[in-house]
Amino acid sequence: MSTQRSHKSTVFSDIDLSRWKEYDDVILDSLWLLGPRDKTGPHVGDYWGNFIPQIPYQVLTRFTKRGDTVVDFFSGMGTTLIECKRLGRNGIGVEIDPVVADRSIERIDSAENPFNVQIAVFVGDSTTQHTADRVAAQLNEWGAASADCIILHPPYHDIIPFSEREGDLSRVPSEDVFLDKVSLVAQHAFELLKPAGFMALVIGDKYADSQLVPLGFSCMQRCTDAGFVLKAINVKEILNNERGKGKNNNLWKYRALVGGFYLFKHEYVMIFRKPTTGRNPKGAAP
């Protein structure tokens, strides 16, 4: 008698649930201790604010299948899109700075493509309808009615200035303007994502005017206002990727003691899901 088990999976993941104990590399806890960034292949931590490849690896492994299409609205140096090639997912990236976009394309092109997936990078402002329409057109060209998963890793407002480009979220004049811009991106993501699809928001907090600014939770609220359902708030350690986020050196230790604050050692990976039916974004017509 054969003892071979049949493959059992969810509708949104290739993980074989009949072998769930074997997935030691998949994090199921809300505390993500990922260690130093993965620097294999074309992954290089030479860009300010570049998030570590382990984050998109976890998100794509948990919430997409091979052949799905992923959209990264703040693609930077292409970390998500490189992981898309590694894992067999099609990827669309949006980057506001054309110089960074060109560099990312070179880096993405150098990654192996064992599953022959399709990758596209657009230069554009993710807050605009024009950019959302370009992403939708690319999805349509690839035969996809919508994205299967979306990743947002916006600047943490003005912690790190990324460019001089008009529309760069790290250059907007106030937190309110920043959050309004995040709302626009979240609304585009909601419109482009398939029903029951997942979205990940990678974000942290900041200090300003001698007080903590809970930027992560404010952005979270804007995503739920757009119509998303919050599934998880994961806390990820910051390790060797701390520029502008409260690096643990003597100067910052001294400032913390004087100012009565704590050094940031974490950021958030928030997971959202688009409802299948029956829910409108806040403020949208019924």
Return the domain boundaries, the chain. 19-33+49-273
pLDDT at residue 3, as a whole number: 52
pLDDT in tens, 63-76: 999 999 999 999 99
Could you tell me the pLDDT band of residue 285, with boundaries at 50, 70 and 90? very low
- What pLDDT was estimated at residue 2? 47
Strands 147-152 and 69-72: parallel
How distant, in Å, are the alpha carbons of 44, 51, 114, 202 from that of 38?
A: 8, 10, 19, 17
Question: 193-241: per-residue pLDDT in tens?
Answer: 999 999 999 999 998 888 999 999 999 999 999 999 999 999 999 865 5
Confidence at residue 1, expressed as pLDDT on a 0 to 100 scale: 44
The rounded percent of the chain whose pLDDT value lies above 70 is 86
What mean pLDDT do residues 23-30 have? 95
The model's pTM: 0.89
Give the model's pLDDT for residue 282.
59
Cβ partners under 8 Å of residue 273, min gap 6: 196, 197, 198, 199, 228, 229, 231
When pLDDT is averaged across residues 26-47 and rounded to a whole number, the result is 76
Q: Which of 259, 239, 269 is nearest to 30 (CA)?
A: 269
The tens digit of pLDDT for each residue in 250-283 reads: 787 888 899 898 888 899 999 999 999 855 555 4
Q: Return the pLDDT at 13.
A: 96
d(CA 16, CA 32) in angstroms, rounded, equals: 22
Mean pLDDT of 165-177: 91
The percentage of the chain sitting over the pLDDT mark of 90, rounded to a whole number, equals 72
Nearest to 228 by CA among 275, 268, 185: 275
93 beta partners: 72, 121
Helix (H) or strand (E) holding 189: helix 175-192
Given the candidates 2.60.120.260, 3.40.50.720, 3.40.50.150, 3.10.20.600, the CATH classification of the domain at 19-33+49-273 is 3.40.50.150
The per-residue pLDDT for range 132-148, each reduced to its tens digit, is: 999 999 999 999 999 99
Chain mean pLDDT for the chain: 89
**Three-state SS for 199?**
strand
* Residue 246, phi then psi, degrees to nearest 5: 95, 50
- Classify burial at 140, counting beta carbons within 10 Å of its beta carbon; exposed 0-12, middle 13-18, buried 19 or more: exposed
Q: What single DSSP character describes residue 44?
A: -
